[in-house]
Amino acid sequence: MGLFSRLFKKEEVEENLGQAPPDLLPQRNDICWCGSGLKYKKCHLEQDRVFLEKRRQKALNARKASCGPVYG
């Protein structure tokens, strides 16, 4: 896990994530939540996918690190 954790250091991830998407994401053909006026699929869809994936990985890593029982 050494290389992986070096690539995805928490601080770097936070910086690279940029603006957090809202809890309720638009549909692909709806206007993006960021106010650009573009359709979501043409704007933040991919960025949000990356953001959520990174956040998920971070949560998984945090759980692993805690070594306690996992609920939920």
Question: Which residues of this protein are in contact with Zn ion, per CB under 5 A?
Answer: 32, 34, 36, 43-44
Rounded Cα distance between 13 and 58, Å, is: 9
Residue whose CB is less far from Zn ion, 32 or 51: 32
Going along 1-72, which residue ranges are E strands? none
Shortest CB 11 distance to Zn ion, Å: 24
Nearer to Zn ion, 43 or 51 (CB): 43
Question: Smallest distance, Å, CB 56 to Zn ion?
Answer: 20
The count of C-alpha atoms lying within 13 angstroms of the C-alpha of 12, restricted to the half-sphere facing its C-beta, is 6
Q: How far is the CB of 29 from Zn ion (least distance, A)?
A: 13
How far apart (Å, rounded) are the C-alpha atoms in residues 44 and 33? 8
